[in-house]
């Protein structure tokens, strides 16, 4: 009796790999498209819409918390929040615990815009992931973490 053949040929493995990458790109592309359409309709940028929805969901946040949640540098978020404040979308308020820290919260106008979006790409993806069995969610989180770590390492290694 001969050893079992590897059913997964190099071509099939590459096709499977391509399908994974295509799916990730599809999710990102559709997410950006939906965000852009909603933002355009409401007269804000997609990033501003993300900040508005984040503040609407969580409440007031520090600049560093917003930076962390958006995966952006503090200096980038400062510029975004400055423009949002100038457009009366958010307000800066001193933190009650530490007066050196400003919290960002929605203005009445910002709250109205945030709530005008019935469903965001974030909510669509959140709902899709929530429907997965617990073991699948755990595996997905583990695998996505590995991918993020690998990509982060590759970016840091670039000259």
Domain residue ranges in the chain: 10-118, 119-159
- Mean pLDDT across the stretch 108-131? 87
- Residue 64: which of 51, 78, 50, 54 has the closest Cα? 78
Task: Using a cut of 0.75, tell me whether the model's pTM lies above it.
Answer: no
pLDDT at 3 over 70: no
30-51 pLDDT, tens digit each:
888 988 998 999 999 999 999 9
Choices 1.10.10.10, 3.40.50.1110, 3.30.70.1350, 3.40.50.720: CATH for 10-118: 1.10.10.10
pLDDT at 1 over 70: no
Both tokens of 158, joined, read 């670039």
pLDDT at 129 over 50: yes
């Amino acid at each position: 009796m001969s050893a079992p053949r590897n059913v997964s040929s190099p071509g099939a493995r590459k096709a499977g790999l391509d399908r994974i990458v295509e799916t990730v790109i599809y999710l990102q592309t559709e997410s950006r498209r939906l965000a852009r359409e909603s933002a355009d309709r409401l007269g804000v940028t997609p990033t501003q819409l993300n900040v508005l929805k984040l503040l609407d969901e969580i409440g007031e946040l520090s600049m560093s918390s917003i930076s962390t949640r958006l995966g952006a540098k503090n200096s980038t978020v400062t510029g975004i929040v400055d423009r949002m404040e100038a457009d009366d979308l958010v307000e800066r308020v001193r933190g009650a615990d530490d007066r050196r820290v400003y919290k960002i919260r929605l203005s009445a106008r910002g709250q109205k815009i945030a709530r005008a979006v019935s469903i965001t790409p974030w909510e669509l993806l959140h709902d899709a992931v929530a429907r997965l069995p617990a073991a699948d969610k755990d595996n997905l989180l583990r695998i996505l973490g590995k991918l993020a770590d690998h990509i982060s390492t590759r970016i840091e290694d670039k000259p």
